[in-house]
Amino acid sequence: MKSHYRAVVIGGGVVGASVLYHLAKFGWTDVCLIERSVLTAGSSWHAAGGFHALNADPNIASLQAYTIDLLSEIEQESGQSVGMHMTGGMTLAGTPDRWEWLQSAYRTFQSIGIDDCRLITPQEAGELCPIMSTEGILGGMWADREGYVDTTGTVHAYAGAAKKRGAEVIEHNRVLELHQVEGGWQVVTEKGTIHTEHVVNAAGLWAKQVGRMAGIELPVSPLNHHYLISDTIPELEQLDFEVPMTVDLEGFTYMRQDQKGILLGIYEIDHEHWMVDGAPWEYGFELQQEDPDRIEKELTLGFERYPALQEVGVKTWVNGAFTFAPDGNPLVGPVRGKPGYWCACGVMAGFLQGGGVGKSLAEWMIHGEPEADVFGMDVARFGDYAQNKRFIKETTGQFYTRRFVMTYPNEQLPAGRPLKKAPAYDGMTAAGCRWGANYGLELPLYFAPSEDFVETPTLKRSNAFDIVAAECKAVRENVGLLDISGFSRFEVSGDGAEAWLDKIMASKLPAPGRAKLAPMLGHDGRMKGDLTVFNWGDGTWWIMGSYYLREWHMRWFQDHMGENVTLRDIADATVGFSLSGPNSLKVLEKLTDGPIGDLKFMGCGTFNIGMLRCKVGRLSVAGELGYEIHCSAAEHITLRETLLEAGTEFGMKEVGFNALLSLRLEKSFGIWSAEFTQAYTAGQTGMDRWIDWDKGAFVGRDAALQERDGNGPDQLVATLEIDAADADASGYEPVWNGDQRVGFVTSGGYGHTVGKSLAMAMIDRDAAQEGTSLSVHIVGAARPAKVIAPSPYDPTGTAMRGGS
């Protein structure tokens, strides 16, 4: 062991070994991995080693696909067998809704280029896995590249390949302390102290403690997980092939062959956390006592699905722990305020995802950005609120229990809620508001007409369709009132504020009393934000954006901070309401003595509104005459009451974000995580029209110029009208020109004003011409579609800009 390395990886499980391998592969060979015991001594040794294609987040599914390809590569490089059994795999559906979901998931895979999947009948499933009963199975999805590996062999293959490239592995050496020092970290270990620029927390079951060593409270907890290995099954002895890796979604089990028996893993409905504060340091190659009583229901289903289990005994029980983040995805990336500290933990399927995690993290550390859009596993997708132990327990428990339970797109899950409530929450609830959660905050979805209205979970249009239609109509014809507490707001002030904003935003900055749409770019020209900048004219500026990106944006801002700038996240202290619709000005005129009617489109200023002093901006995501009215949290209830009272005579209706999503689609206004992501450039998304090419240096300028002066992007965002009857596109559905896949839907829904099913889609430039006939798979069924001109509602923008 040396006294200095460029990077130190803490933890010799599959994830740490993969990070080490990728660092060395991408050119950092002065790196080491430190392991408390021996390689694999955490969760990794007792994993079932299975890998499969499905993941609800297509970006993560792509990284899983990368991992599967990588396994044979590391085997070759290291000379260490990974014990690959590429048996193929099946995911089975046992209810009509699930079968529909699987057919739609199959199309999502096509969208992201995973082409080795196909749908299968119950009969085919039975032929592929003769020891399985197909009772109740309606269909399944087959994937060629699924199977299992030898877990210990795989970890050693990653580590061995890394060592061949110059990396070091140091076992039997616990990291005791971490100290942030000038230029990096001091890593105090049992065998001495190391200085390093970068440390990686890949401590798996101990990630919590290794976080705390650096003053970080990670939202992660271990849970116990069972599998059993059966004795030899005579039918399997007769077969000349291995049965495939099989996931029975309605049975809560996964199964693979293990020698001549089977391994049956169970996602327990009655879940059990284990050592929420992290495993004990002395925890070795141990397991928890199995608890068949707790998993009796799932076992019964498993024994029915694989009847041979009723004839043979159980050879081995495994009840071991592995870690989960609240949404079940890994926690990867840099931590704000801790330069050089990187996370690679919370990886609940290390053999499936470890390769992608290692690749993305190594790219991030070496090049400053990962190649893929990894927001879904970025540690900055959670804020401080997620450090709470009860929140962690509730959400990780919910994820675990629902691992194989179907969640509908319109379904709101209860764990960890309600956590943050805007002050007018109770009043809005009494008015029928139905809520969804966003970054811990309750957001209004729509207002139900009666207390007993229950929205049916569905993949198609729900029974809230007419409610949302009525809210859209109120906005288009009268005025809608929407709680806009759920936006991020950053206040920027100080002598250096303007210069700093000018550097990080690609747009021109707004003049005093004006707001401006501001794309923010990464150094490589890909997007970092679709923000709105306000110049209040008194030396203070606001940046407004998506509420759930608060921590993610704050990390970027702080990493690119300027001199003499004061930056404050004021999102929970400052809340507000928006008014949208032709009558919105009339409502405000009743409430203010200020020249609100003079406020031009994208103008902003401070006004008396009733008894309150509010900051007001004239803009509207709905594409109407609209105002966003901001107040302090203490004033939120009064603001709502004031606006409602004044609005009655103008037909005001409270509305939720479901209506806003439909209204903005009719305007072809993109949103983050759909049309705008960190995977796309400004040119691809149309955001380049807001770039100020004449101003001096700004972050991403060179790359954006290169794109502008090159041949242009291969794919563009287009608006589609779809001939759909009972379901709308939602995202990632493939778009076809004949039988050629030309792109995928970024977001979709029903345009209640125009009376059409609409979508925005990232498609090949040639296919994006207006009038092109295409087709889109919606919930698995092909629907005719055509490219239409952007903004099917009010294409000239008269309603929104009127009077300006």
Ligand X SMILES: Cc1cc2nc3c(=O)[nH]c(=O)nc-3n(C[C@H](O)[C@H](O)[C@H](O)COP(=O)(O)OP(=O)(O)OC[C@H]3O[C@@H](n4cnc5c(N)ncnc54)[C@H](O)[C@@H]3O)c2cc1C
In the set 46, 294, 359, 393, which binds ligand X (CB under 6 A)? Answer: 46
Per-residue contact string for residues 285-324; x = within reach of ligand X by CB under 6 A: ---------------------------------x-xxx--
35 binds ligand X (CB under 6 A): yes
Nearer to ligand X, 176 or 789 (CB): 176
Cβ–Cβ < 8 Å for 375, 552: yes
Q: What angle do CA 788, 793, 799 make, to 5 degrees?
A: 145
Candidate segments 5-13, 530-538, 593-601, 658-666, binder of ligand X by CB under 6 A: 5-13
Candidate segments 34-42, 441-449, 579-587, 660-668, binder of ligand X by CB under 6 A: 34-42
266 binds ligand X (CB under 6 A): no
In the set 6, 29, 30, 37, which binds ligand X (CB under 6 A)? Answer: 37
Q: Tell me the site size for ligand X, rule CB under 6 A.
A: 42
Q: How far is the CB of 85 from ligand X (least distance, A)?
A: 12
44 binds ligand X (CB under 6 A): yes
**Dihedral sign of CA atoms 310, 312, 316, 322 in order:** negative
Nearer to ligand X, 264 or 652 (CB): 264
Per-residue contact string for residues 76-115; x = within reach of ligand X by CB under 6 A: ----------------------------------------
Amino acid found at 266: I
Question: Which residues touch 231 (CB under 8 Å, ≥6 apart)?
Answer: 261, 312, 313, 314, 315
In eight-state DSSP terms, residue 242 is P
Nearer to ligand X, 349 or 629 (CB): 349
Per-residue contact string for residues 188-227; x = within reach of ligand X by CB under 6 A: --------------xxxxx---x--------------x-x
Nearer to ligand X, 164 or 191 (CB): 191
16 binds ligand X (CB under 6 A): yes
In eight-state DSSP terms, residue 647 is H
Q: How far is the CB of 750 from ligand X (least distance, A)?
A: 39
Candidate segments 10-18, 403-411, 607-615, 779-787, binder of ligand X by CB under 6 A: 10-18
In the set 20, 24, 50, 440, which binds ligand X (CB under 6 A)? Answer: 50
DSSP string, 323-384: EE-TTSS-EEEE-TT-TTEEEEE--TTHHHHHHHHHHHHHHHHHHSS-SS--GGGBGGGS-G
Nearer to ligand X, 167 or 644 (CB): 167
CA-wise closest residue to 567 among 496, 499, 502, 493? 493
Nearer to ligand X, 278 or 743 (CB): 278
How far apart are alpha carbons 733 and 109 in whole angstroms? 9
In the set 22, 36, 476, 701, which binds ligand X (CB under 6 A)? Answer: 36
Candidate segments 38-46, 108-116, 496-504, 505-513, binder of ligand X by CB under 6 A: 38-46
- 323-362 binders of ligand X (CB under 6 A): 345, 347-352
* E strand spans, 71-183: 89-93, 117-120, 139-143, 147-148, 168-170, 175-181
Candidate segments 46-54, 269-277, 545-553, 779-787, binder of ligand X by CB under 6 A: 46-54
Nearer to ligand X, 68 or 518 (CB): 68
What six digits make up the tokens of 488?
């991020």
14 binds ligand X (CB under 6 A): yes
Nearer to ligand X, 61 or 727 (CB): 61
Residue for token digits 């609240």? 326
Candidate segments 35-43, 98-106, 409-417, 592-600, binder of ligand X by CB under 6 A: 35-43
In the set 9, 11, 178, 767, which binds ligand X (CB under 6 A)? Answer: 11
Nearer to ligand X, 196 or 478 (CB): 196
Taking the chain, what is the end-to-end CA distance rounded to the nearest angstrom?
Answer: 69
Buried/exposed 314-324: b ≥16 CB within 10 Å, e otherwise: eeeebbbbbbb
β-strand partners of 101: none
CA-wise closest residue to 770 among 754, 751, 792? 792
DSSP string, 256-304: EEETTEEEEEE--SS--B--TT---TT--S--PPP-TTTTHHHHHHHHH
Residue for token digits 């293990």? 258
Q: How far is the CB of 201 from ligand X (least distance, A)?
A: 9
Nearer to ligand X, 52 or 550 (CB): 52
- CB atoms under 10 Å from CB of 330, counted, come to 32
Buried/exposed 530-563: b ≥16 CB within 10 Å, e otherwise: bbbbbbbeeebbbbbbbbbbbbbbbbbbeeeebe
Nearer to ligand X, 17 or 659 (CB): 17
**Interacting residues with ligand X (CB under 6 A):** 10-16, 34-37, 41-44, 46-51, 174-175, 202-206, 210, 225, 227, 318, 320-322, 345, 347-352
